[in-house]
Structure 1
């Protein structure tokens, strides 16, 4: 005969059953109406909230959902859709949405630009809503005090444009992809082509606003330095909803210089030799110079049908053409840079040029940066690594051979810091929806990633948070949740992982803000 449990254990067991059933129970069919009623009570808004709560029955639901999906594989009929989309117009809407989602025991996914390679900002295996921040895109620029406040739903391109409107000698160090959202890009670190001079985006953030799990709107002072530290590189999605960042502007010269130099195994100076020298120069040269190296599989122009690897150096120099040519004649002679390879232009034009080298000759104007490039998803896979010692020639020879044989996956080497020479991005894109194509393309990136194992950072093998990659680990939120989170957490954050765990425990102990790669909580 079974023994009756002690009263306190019975209560605990009952609560466990209730908690488990709540987490598993799907929301009621009238959830959109129930949520809207809750939001009306908590949002303290004069705006008709029915305009910002978009249910699946709303004719605009599919358009709004697809507008900021950037990975077409997550835009399929089989991808689980949100219960509704909330498009806040003001901070109280965000606060109310957090309170109401938590009350309903529904996950909340926060999307600013949608450049989340594996879609963690707009997909989930559990019932969820999307908090789509694109309407919260106000940017104010104070040139006198050299600061700007950018809301999370603004794009980096919009930030650049608004700064340029007010000053031709100020900028901000952030992404070369101008349609990424402020909230996700900066909370994940923020990397761009002025990094060597001014650091990451987060190195130039001086304040922020975040809505916490209780629905409180906090700034740097009220959130405290630990949380302020965590959301500058630890990803905002683990701690709350980023509403805005206050940015410290940086000085840029009236004219900067850009250049693009292409090389291949067909030329007198091989791509191999050029890469060997690039590794010695790019991470250590004048900090005003950023040289990105692209390695791309190609077909030989000399030997018909032969496969090869092409190297392309794309650069920004915060100075004049004569100066950078003289500098690289001495430090990087194999590049063979000539003044005719260089173009002097304003900093804002260099932003356009980095996205499309033909932008200026095609008459593209800075106003293009105000666009969001909606509903432009493509099929893709990205992975990342960090290199701390130059890759030896034998390693590059094997890499080039494999890249040429695989034929589709390219690599991008970006100078970095923090004990790293450069960051590696593995990049492949394709155009059709066939599962076999996806498998082939993704396997290419994994093969190259495996090959690179001896030449990249170890213990842990680090990864870049803003190049989300579920291959490095996922959390199933079962009994081993913390251990699973530690696998990817140490790869993304190294020694900072332990401090991030402490911050998470302090601000979101019940782990409401979570995704497959969020900061875990200890059991």
Structure 2
């Protein structure tokens, strides 16, 4: 049919209309976003105005005189807990009888607390409180006078107000606790809060300044790969109403774990219920009174009892969850009390009646509310009743300091923006309220717990997450972040977090050092909780028994430094990058400068303590030899959460000798490296010579060359080393002048690229090294590469823009003494050396720029070029240098073997699968390349 002009015009009109419709839809979406922002700002302003012009009512909907009746007899003008501190002295006490507002959700984070409970204006600023305000989180419930005395939650009601509990103003300050308050959220110095002094119980942060994660495993600061711990249950949903939960814990009441380190049913801890009703209380079908007993004599259903993680307050304490005896003293009409769980949900978040819940009707039918819902509810109330409230205005509140007003405004906007930005940057966070409530309800010390758990609405959330992302290419906004970060200081919090993550459908990731090459220890495409071991990094060295216990949060630098403080003749055969965390490094195998003399790091593990999927803490004796075998090279993240490691310390001489020299193509580098392949794996096992290969321009020319750096360490003096090299490797040309005799601890500095005279304390400084920005691959060579092959590799380097690197570590020696099945790490007898191949993205804004993508393509082409020269059937790779390019399929053995046999070889991989099926049959601990669970038997594989 011929195309007429009319037909063409109709087509054009249709196309134009479609384009206009699309544009209109896009504009509408933009308008919606703008409207959301405007609404949020309006809500913020309304909440701020309510702080200024509140109705004077006491907490829990009481009238302005703070008594127990709503008669509005404003004789003295003193609010009962909802008022503001009008003397501006930061003590939470009004200067004329009116109480400080320390409670009430004046920061917009939905927790019902006056931003960590202080009433002095700075709001505790996320545990970095350096002012002099009171730590009060509401009215003093000891005397009923409604005066915020600065001690936070001193009545034990578990409302969570008065975070940090200190009255000197620093709020426990998250690893920067330089005061004497102990960092407790409202707990005093005798842990019973009876003294009301607000001085904390001294149990603040005893950990270190940074952290690391299982799955880092990077021996040389170039990154690593040991992906971290698995995830939640088998589905990707947040089973908020998991009525079919079959947890069989008969613990009943109490306020936390029974202290024996397991999830048994011996009670005594307010831990986990057995009634399958998702409330963590006893099996009483009625609404529980929150006290952990079997009766409902407390009319405030579930408002504060231990062991409760449902939609209510979840605090640990008595009746009212809202921060004071009358329900929390909220901002506005009737008690904006906190439910004690630091989340943005349920009880006490939106104000209302004096029971501290969300419903204003005293019936305690609790419902979860996020920040936006809570703000909308407040906006609704404040829109209907503003003139009524103005008629009740206590004029003295006009004396509220400008600094308090400004702080509330800024903080409220920050919280709103954090919620909004979490959506626009591609990393939405699910509501974590139930999980946090669960953790609070099953913890003995709620006030301390609140300082160790962070969600995106906390100012410290992003800095904590970013602090140990060692590969900066993952710092981009699109990287998926955890829903919750937990920074434990003791083991029971980890057990509780595991239990609650399973219960509410979250996966788990464990971060020790953060050198994970694929970010598996701190990022996932599913809702997950990240346990950051930053604060669990202690090392205990036993010189007599030649061993050391080191917590998972310790890095290699912590371990080496601790050893050096006790002895110069013992060391650990680990890697040379001091910021690598022990968790991933050890569980993936681990190699270093002593590998030819003492084997891998995993070969020198004597014991470890691990939490299994059921929450039990096991050691070598109780776990059995199968699990002990699996975790020493098979990756702990597939089997459990390792808490601490017992390591064998090996003897070293007081003096070791190091040397570094470079050879270029013009200095016969090709021939020397060819000889190196024969010498390095077979020479005296006291000598380890690492090499690094670079492509670079000859100085002041446009011609490229290859430079090979030879870095040697000898366990002895130069007088013994030089004759050894003269006999076996004279081509290298090592002279006495380039040899340096130092201690073993100093050799780590040298291989890290620092002068040996550098103070060794730097080894414990996790920020002393630049972060990585690269992509890596690994190989093992079993046959020397011929000169012709080396020249092909050099030519490939000439195509690169100086961003590439090869790092070679020779094996042989002790490694040849082990069979492949000694541990899951199979790369032993017959391996000449390991190769790390990497490209860097320095100078690029991300790994997705055209230049970065070009470099990645170059790396993959190098990988292809190396195929004839590296191991085959399978082509072996190092599990700690995790590479998702291999694939992530694990629904059957054929899929999983593509990457699994490369890391562990066939026999070891099959054995790991069998152990996984016994230890974690439901595959809770999982990630894209974790050990899988199959329904078919191993004999069918």
Answer yes or no: same fold by TM over 0.5: yes
Cα separation, 1, equivalents of 2:616 and 2:539: 22
Cα separation, 2, equivalents of 1:300 and 1:437: 23
Asked if the contact 2:239/2:503 (under 8 Å) is kept, the reply is no
Q: Structure 1's 225 and 22: CA in aligned 2 closer, same or farther, altered over 3 A?
A: closer
Cα separation, 1, equivalents of 2:500 and 2:532: 15
Number of the residue aligned with 2:798: 404
Offset from partner CA, 1:22-74 (integer Å, 9 cap, x none): 82435777443322232234445576211111111010001000011012221
* Pairing partner for 1:429 from 830, 840, 849: 840
Number of the residue aligned with 1:342: 739
Matches within 5 A, 1:376-387: 376-387=770-781
1:98 positional shift? 1.1
Cα separation, 1, equivalents of 2:635 and 2:688: 25
Q: Secondary structure at the match of 2:836?
A: strand
* Pairing partner for 1:315 from 702, 706, 712: 712
Q: Secondary structure at the match of 1:179?
A: coil
Q: Structure 1's 117 and 22: CA in aligned 2 closer, same or farther, altered over 3 A?
A: closer
Cα separation, 2, equivalents of 1:487 and 1:153: 32
Number of the residue aligned with 2:520: 120
Cα separation, 2, equivalents of 1:409 and 1:138: 36
* Pairing partner for 2:565 from 134, 155, 165: 165
Deviates most, 280-289 or 70-79 = 70-79
Number of the residue aligned with 2:168: none
Number of the residue aligned with 1:15: none
Cα separation, 1, equivalents of 2:798 and 2:770: 29
Number of the residue aligned with 2:750: 353
- Give the CA RMSD over aligned residues: 1.8
Q: Structure 1's 135 and 82: CA in aligned 2 closer, same or farther, altered over 3 A?
A: same
Cα separation, 2, equivalents of 1:241 and 1:181: 14
1:263 positional shift? 0.3
Q: Structure 1's 520 and 144: CA in aligned 2 closer, same or farther, altered over 3 A?
A: same
Matches within 5 A, 1:89-128: 89-128=489-528
Asked if the contact 1:69/1:376 (under 8 Å) is kept, the reply is no
Matches within 5 A, 1:30-49: 30=345, 31-45=431-445, 48-49=448-449
Cα separation, 1, equivalents of 2:645 and 2:745: 21
Cα separation, 1, equivalents of 2:442 and 2:810: 47
Offset from partner CA, 1:308-339 (integer Å, 9 cap, x none): 11111011111011211111111111101111
* Pairing partner for 1:506 from 918, 922, 932: 918
* Pairing partner for 2:692 from 260, 278, 294: 294
Number of the residue aligned with 2:909: 497
- Higher share in helix: 1
Asked if residue 284 in structure 1 is aligned to residue 284 in structure 2, the reply is: no
Asked if the contact 1:154/1:182 (under 8 Å) is kept, the reply is yes
Asked if residue 57 in structure 1 is aligned to residue 457 in structure 2, the reply is: yes
Q: Secondary structure at the match of 2:766?
A: coil
Cα separation, 2, equivalents of 1:234 and 1:332: 36
Asked if residue 72 in structure 1 is aligned to residue 469 in structure 2, the reply is: no
Number of the residue aligned with 1:414: 809
Q: Secondary structure at the match of 2:537?
A: coil
Cα separation, 2, equivalents of 1:53 and 1:180: 24
Number of the residue aligned with 1:8: none
Q: Secondary structure at the match of 1:483?
A: helix
Q: Structure 1's 436 and 104: CA in aligned 2 closer, same or farther, altered over 3 A?
A: same
Asked if residue 136 in structure 1 is aligned to residue 541 in structure 2, the reply is: no
Cα separation, 1, equivalents of 2:656 and 2:910: 41
1:257 positional shift? 0.5
Number of the residue aligned with 1:365: 759
Number of the residue aligned with 2:885: 471
1:427 positional shift? 1.7
Cα separation, 1, equivalents of 2:471 and 2:883: 12
Q: Secondary structure at the match of 1:51?
A: coil
Cα separation, 2, equivalents of 1:446 and 1:109: 29
Asked if the contact 1:69/1:115 (under 8 Å) is kept, the reply is yes
Q: Secondary structure at the match of 2:557?
A: helix
Q: Structure 1's 82 and 413: CA in aligned 2 closer, same or farther, altered over 3 A?
A: same
Asked if residue 488 in structure 1 is aligned to residue 899 in structure 2, the reply is: yes
Asked if the contact 2:553/2:581 (under 8 Å) is kept, the reply is yes
Q: Secondary structure at the match of 2:661?
A: strand
Q: Secondary structure at the match of 1:233?
A: coil
1:376 positional shift? 4.9
1:442 positional shift? 1.3
Q: TM-score, normalised by structure 1?
A: 0.91
Unmatched 5+ stretches in structure 1: 1-19
1:485 positional shift? 2.1
Q: Structure 1's 251 and 193: CA in aligned 2 closer, same or farther, altered over 3 A?
A: same
Q: Structure 1's 403 and 27: CA in aligned 2 closer, same or farther, altered over 3 A?
A: farther
Q: Structure 1's 376 and 353: CA in aligned 2 closer, same or farther, altered over 3 A?
A: closer
Asked if the contact 2:233/2:502 (under 8 Å) is kept, the reply is no
Unmatched 5+ stretches in structure 2: 1-231, 241-343, 346-430, 816-827, 936-941
Q: Secondary structure at the match of 1:222?
A: helix
Asked if the contact 1:36/1:50 (under 8 Å) is kept, the reply is no
Asked if residue 522 in structure 1 is aligned to residue 934 in structure 2, the reply is: yes
Q: TM-score, normalised by structure 2?
A: 0.51
Asked if the contact 2:233/2:506 (under 8 Å) is kept, the reply is no
Asked if the contact 1:45/1:93 (under 8 Å) is kept, the reply is no
Cα separation, 2, equivalents of 1:247 and 1:463: 25
> Greater Rg, structure 1 or structure 2?
2
Matches within 5 A, 1:195-234: 195-234=595-634
Kindly indicate whether structure 1 or structure 2 has the higher relative contact order, using CA contacts under 8 Å at least 6 residues apart: 1
Cα separation, 2, equivalents of 1:374 and 1:307: 32
